[in-house]
Structure 1
Amino acid sequence: MTLATDDRPSKIASIAVQTSADRFITIKGDWAHFKLIQKGCEQNSGTRLFYFDGMIEILMTGRSHELFSHIIGHLLTCFLAYQGIYFFPFGTADQEREGMAAAQPDQSYCFGTVKPIPDLSIEVVFTSGGVSKLQRYRAIGVPEVWFWEDGTLTLYHLRGDNYERIEKSELEELKDLDVSILKRHIMMGETNVGEAIRSFTAYAMQKK
């Protein structure tokens, strides 16, 4: 990845990436500093940037992270498609509230129509707890956030100014999704992606 070292985008220091484990850097800085780093990292697909409350987080995803991210994306897309739900997958697209917060989740979805802020954001967490990450999504205003961490899928729904942990999605488009079945197939995908997709597809077709 590339990391800006001063206020000129042309001066960039290189950091080697791509290992099996995630790498995580935290830097104090204001919104202008964050936007400068963001510009310097535009061509680094394996780098995710986050900002909240004067802290810049730089995440360089490893292979395990990317594996789970793609598995979750494939399975959820499969479910939505077979349910006949009109949706737009936006992956790691930037989510920002100007001057306040920014995030690049692993997966994100809008339902029904394209919106400035997605209906659902999903993060794979290997580096630090998901609950603390909710603050930036609250500032951005994402209605529902899911975290995959330590083999567990945890869901949160925004109620007023705070997120509440929930057992199943409260988004209308996902109300029929059995989270325990999704979780089981995510774990299956760690060792056999094809079998996980085939098995979950059968489940999604039955729910149609």
Structure 2
Amino acid sequence: MAISVAVQPMVAIQLRQFEIRPGQSLLLHDVSWSEFEAILAELGEHRSIRIAYDNGWLELMTPLPEHEYFKQSISIAIEDIAEELNLDYESYGSTTWRQRAKQAGLEADNCFYFQNEARIRGKLDIDLERDPPPDLALEIDMTSKSLERFPIYARLGVPEIWCYDSGALRVYLLQQAQYVEATQSQVFPSLAIQELPHLIESYRSQGRLALRRAVRAWVKTQK
């Protein structure tokens, strides 16, 4: 990649010089907002590298295959749950959410609109300057992340985060600009969301279709 990024005074490093192996991350500092946007443009939309930006700090990360499996499994489960509960939703995947005024930007593993779905319905270009942030963000912590995500999410105003790590799924709600672990999801208040990892593991060897059927059956038992 041809773009150069100044990470220290008088020092420039080209992105093509970086080799970020799966499961690893690279942290750069003194990256201006204009440089951050230039990097996004150079990387493009179709890439394996994931980014997070916080007041001049930029992290580049490449996920592991295990990370992608649980991201996909939980994401599909969220969609199956929503359909079983007859809830309108929209998923925007790993969209880059950013606000220059707050010097914050990141890409969730997946993100969803539920409460605000009607406000963004049909939109292909969402701008947080005028549109609401996603109602739910999904973070899979299978890799070592150097940059703390919660402060970035908080400045962007995302009300709920699900974090999966080592077989456990935790729900965090935004309260007074900070995230607090909760026992219930605001999106699915009637469900014991923390049971999802056990369900996924129980059906992992039986294939995707069996897992999806199990998730829908599980929802019916908790309605």
- Cα deviations across residues 73-122 of structure 1 (Å, max 9, x unaligned)? 11111000110001111111121122410110011111132253101111
Q: Give the Cα–Cα distance (whole angstroms) in 1 for the partners of residues 25 and 145 of structure 2.
A: 13
Q: Give the Cα–Cα distance (whole angstroms) in 2 for the partners of residues 63 and 127 of structure 1.
A: 10
In the alignment, is the contact (CA less than 8 A) between 2:27 and 2:146 conserved in 1?
A: no
Structure 1 unmatched ranges of 5 or more: none
Q: Give me the CA root mean square deviation.
A: 2.5
In the alignment, is the contact (CA less than 8 A) between 2:110 and 2:139 conserved in 1?
A: yes
Q: Give the Cα–Cα distance (whole angstroms) in 1 for the partners of residues 65 and 17 of structure 2.
A: 20
Question: Which stretches of structure 1, 4 residues or more, deviate above 6 A after TM superposition?
Answer: none
Does 1:104 find its partner at 2:107? yes
Identity of matched residues, %: 20
Letter in 2 for 1:27: L
Letter in 2 for 1:50: A
Structure 2 vs 1, CA of residues 16 and 26 (structure 1 numbering), >3 Å: closer, same or farther?
A: closer
The aligned counterpart of 2:217 is 202
Q: Give the Cα–Cα distance (whole angstroms) in 1 for the partners of residues 175 and 82 of structure 2.
A: 24
The aligned counterpart of 1:13 is 16
The aligned counterpart of 1:23 is 24
Could you tell me the TM-score, scaled by structure 2's length?
A: 0.79
Which one of 197, 201, 205 corresponds to residue 183 of structure 1?
A: 197
Aligned-pair CA distance for 1:6? 4.1
Q: Give the Cα–Cα distance (whole angstroms) in 2 for the partners of residues 88 and 196 of structure 1.
A: 21
Structure 2 unmatched ranges of 5 or more: 7-13, 121-130
In the alignment, is the contact (CA less than 8 A) between 1:3 and 1:37 conserved in 2?
A: no
The aligned counterpart of 2:128 is none
The aligned counterpart of 2:54 is 52
SS in 1 for 2:149: helix
| Structure with the greater alpha carbon radius of gyration | 2
Letter in 2 for 1:126: M
SS in 2 for 1:102: strand
Q: Give the Cα–Cα distance (whole angstroms) in 2 for the partners of residues 69 and 13 of structure 1.
A: 27
In the alignment, is the contact (CA less than 8 A) between 1:3 and 1:14 conserved in 2?
A: no
Instruction: Note the 1:80-99 alignment, pairs <5 A.
Output: 80-99=82-101
In the alignment, is the contact (CA less than 8 A) between 1:134 and 1:163 conserved in 2?
A: yes
SS in 2 for 1:132: coil
- Cα deviations across residues 154-185 of structure 1 (Å, max 9, x unaligned)? 2111112211111221x2x3111212321212
Q: Give the Cα–Cα distance (whole angstroms) in 2 for the partners of residues 191 and 13 of structure 1.
A: 39
| Residue-pair matches, total | 200
Q: Give the Cα–Cα distance (whole angstroms) in 1 for the partners of residues 203 and 155 of structure 2.
A: 33
Structure 2 vs 1, CA of residues 153 and 4 (structure 1 numbering), >3 Å: closer, same or farther?
A: farther
